[in-house]
């Protein structure tokens, strides 16, 4: 709840704090981390509007809210520090209770014991392994305990989804009563320790798609990747790519009809684009020398979709990015051909919106759309270039 009535007069508190600035989330791999001042263990939540209204906490001075979590079991401990508290102040415990209350340690001592308690998944066969990291598929409806201490998959998912809520814009909790949800979790197998540590996770949901009499179920699945999260401390280290690659392989093994992404954020769009383009390049399923200016043909789209199961729109993005990749930076002729081709596509795609613009304003808007899209593509090409994939446009 946001406010409690003050004793007597019912006045609302006057002090106000930004929840984004005063809430800290600290990852504890051991008791030592609990006391450490290392900045690598902390992160600030990006989105707290689903925890407190308008991302504000009222009634405190010099407020600091620290949410500790054990990186193995993802159990929590809450510490609230302030120099002054007004009547009717935000009930911080109550605001956080729906999100971490089911896994909240009551005392510091209890939490410290949790940090050191062995935490080992009972699922022995990961769908992907790299270095000391493991990715496990855990169907949400499974009655099998996730860990040797009896923690169920649903219980563990309730603990980890809080991190998606505060790191992904517009994230929401999935309906755990729906048995179709699948959870994919990245763990790090700690060296010299019986502990596994939570790194990130993703959720997927299958839909019935095209009917196919050759399949036992009679239908091909459309699979939607819903949420993909890597904890901030582990981002930009390749875990997101490994997780997405594992999800793609899982979908292809199941011979799904199509893989879609639910409302991807800007950062996830870069991850998705770079992974899709890299897959297309490595599998050599794009035209070797794409002629800028000629739109992608339907037959060419279907070749890529048959191999990757990505959407038609995503195939077009991959072709356009690959065209840009193969153009020399000083090749103004082919750069112009590509620009005009993409603008024509954008004009058709956004006809309803652009139809409301005057002719000159329409040209300006199309130019802005293309410039923005080109910057998105260049960001992806820089990512691939760092992975060793050559890019003529970048001179590498």
From 242-256, 283-297, 346-360, the region with the lowest mean pLDDT: 283-297
Q: Which residue has the higher pLDDT, 322 or 294?
A: 322
pLDDT given at position 263: 84
| Residue 396 predicted with pLDDT over 80 | no
In three-state secondary structure terms, 25 is: strand
pLDDT at 10 over 60: no
> Residue 211: its pLDDT value, please?
54
The string of DSSP letters for 81-135 reads: E-SEE-TT---HHHHHHHHHGGGB-SSHHHHHHHHHS---BS----SEEETTEEE
**228 Cβ contact partners less than 8 Å away, ≥ 6 residues apart:** 200, 201, 202, 240, 243, 244, 247, 268, 271
Give pLDDT, residue 150.
84
133-187 pLDDT, tens digit each:
999 998 888 777 888 788 899 999 999 999 999 999 989 999 999 989 999 999 9
Q: What is the pLDDT of residues 190-239, one digit of tens each?
A: 777 778 999 999 999 998 766 544 434 455 789 999 999 999 999 999 99
pLDDT of residue 135: 97
Angle subtended at Cα 49 by Cα 48 and Cα 52, rounded to the nearest 5 degrees: 85
What pLDDT score does 375 carry?
Answer: 97
- For residue 61, the Cα-to-chain-centroid distance in whole angstroms is 34
* Type and span of the H or E element at 353: helix 351-354
Per-residue model confidence (pLDDT) at position 239: 97
pLDDT at position 185: 97
Mean local confidence (pLDDT), 115-129: 89
Q: List all residues 6 or more positions away from 109 whose beta carbon is below 8 Å from its beta carbon.
A: none
pTM, full prediction: 0.89
| pLDDT at site 213 | 45
* Cβ-based neighbours of 138, under 8 Å, separated by 6 or more: 123, 146, 153, 182, 183, 184, 185
278 has a pLDDT exceeding 70: yes
Q: What confidence category does residue 15 fall into, taking pLDDT thresholds of 50, 70 and 90?
A: very high
Name the helix (H) or strand (E) containing 380: helix 359-386
Burial of 176 (0-12, 13-18, 19+ CB in 10 A): middle
Kindly report, residue by residue over 19-71, the tens digit of the pLDDT: 999 999 999 999 999 999 999 999 999 999 999 999 999 999 999 999 999 99
Once rounded to an integer, what is the mean pLDDT over residues 355-364?
90
- Report all structural domains of the chain as residue ranges with CATH numbers, in order of start: 16-116 (3.90.360.10), 118-263 (3.40.630.30), 286-396 (no CATH)
pLDDT tens-digit map of 86-113: 999 999 999 999 999 999 999 999 999 9
Give the mean pLDDT of 244-256.
93
Give the distance from CA 159 to its chain's centroid: 16
Q: Given this model, what pLDDT does residue 97 score? A: 97
Structure tokens at 29: 């791999």
Mean pLDDT of the chain: 90
Across 297-322, b (16+ Cβ under 10 Å) vs e yields: eeebbeebbeebbbbeebbbbbbbbb
Confidence (pLDDT) at 294: 84
- Residue 207's Cβ-count burial label (10 Å; 0-12, 13-18, 19+) is middle
| pLDDT over threshold 80, residue 6 | no
């Amino acid at each position: 709840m946001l406010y409690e009535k003050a004793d007597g007069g019912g006045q609302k508190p006057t002090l106000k704090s930004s929840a984004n600035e005063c809430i800290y989330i600290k990852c504890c791999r051991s008791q030592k981390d609990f006391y450490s001042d290392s900045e690598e263990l902390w992160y600030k939540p990006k989105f707290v509007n689903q925890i407190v209204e308008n991302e504000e906490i009222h009634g405190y001075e010099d407020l600091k809210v620290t949410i500790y979590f054990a990186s193995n079991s993802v159990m929590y401990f809450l510490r609230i520090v302030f120099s002054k508290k007004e009547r009717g102040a935000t009930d911080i415990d109550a605001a956080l209770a729906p999100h971490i209350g089911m896994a909240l340690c009551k005392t510091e001592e209890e939490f410290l014991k949790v940090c050191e308690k062995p935490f080992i998944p009972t699922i022995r066969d990961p769908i992907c392994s790299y270095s000391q990291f493991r990715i496990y598929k855990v169907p949400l409806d499974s009655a099998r305990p996730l860990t040797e201490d009896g923690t169920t998959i649903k219980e563990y998912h309730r603990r980890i989804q809080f991190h998606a809520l505060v790191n992904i814009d517009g994230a929401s909790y999935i309906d755990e009563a729906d048995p179709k949800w699948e959870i994919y979790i990245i763990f790090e197998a700690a060296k010299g320790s019986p502990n596994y540590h939570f790194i990130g996770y993703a959720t997927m949901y299958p839909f019935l798609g095209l009917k196919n009499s050759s399949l036992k179920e009679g239908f091909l699945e459309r699979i939607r990747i819903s949420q993909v999260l890597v904890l901030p401390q582990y981002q930009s280290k390749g875990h997101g790519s490994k997780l997405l690659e594992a999800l793609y392989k899982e979908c292809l093994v199941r011979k799904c009809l199509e893989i879609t992404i639910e409302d991807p954020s800007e950062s996830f769009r870069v991850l998705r684009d770079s992974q899709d383009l890299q897959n297309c390049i490595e599998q050599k399923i794009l035209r070797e020398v794409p002629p800028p200016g000629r739109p992608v043909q339907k037959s060419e789209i279907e070749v890529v979709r048959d191999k990757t199961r990505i959407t038609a729109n995503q195939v077009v993005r991959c072709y356009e990015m690959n065209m840009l990749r193969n153009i020399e930076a000083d090749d103004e002729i082919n750069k112009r051909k590509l620009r005009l081709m993409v603008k024509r596509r954008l004009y058709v795609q956004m006809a309803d919106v652009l139809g409301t613009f005057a002719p000159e304003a329409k040209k300006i808007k199309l130019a802005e759309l293309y410039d923005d899209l080109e910057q998105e593509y260049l960001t992806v090409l820089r990512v691939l270039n760092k992975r060793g994939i050559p890019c003529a446009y970048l001179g590498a």
